[in-house]
Amino acid sequence: MDRHTTLMYTITHDSVLKDEERVYFQLAILYTTPDRRRVIRIHNLSCIATVKPTVIFRNSDIETIIACLIKMAADKALMFPLSEEGKGAR
């Protein structure tokens, strides 16, 4: 990992969150540096849950969302190729 490395995670939460409820995320990454030292890097994030689309849009990174959607679509396209019937349709 270096300063040009980007990590992307898709998180799913199945229970209901109340509007304005605080939500916490923690990510720990264990890796080896080029000089062979073992390093752990911990990231903490605190967010407020909301159901308002304007708040979600204002606080999101659109470029990251687009990159995530493109990668998810490419992954799905590789898992489910076009059927034989679709290739010959006009």
How does DSSP assign 7-37, residue by residue? Answer: --------S---TT-EEEEEEEEEEE-TTS-
Q: Are 50 and 19 in contact (CB under 8 A)?
A: yes
20 HSE (CA, 13 A, CB side):
0
Beta-sheet pairing, 22-32 with 38-48: antiparallel
The pTM of the whole model exceeds 0.75? no
List the pLDDT tens digit at each of the 90 positions of the chain: 667 777 777 788 888 889 989 999 999 999 898 899 999 999 999 988 888 888 888 878 888 888 889 988 988 888 887 665 555 444
Residue 38, classed as helix, strand or coil, is strand
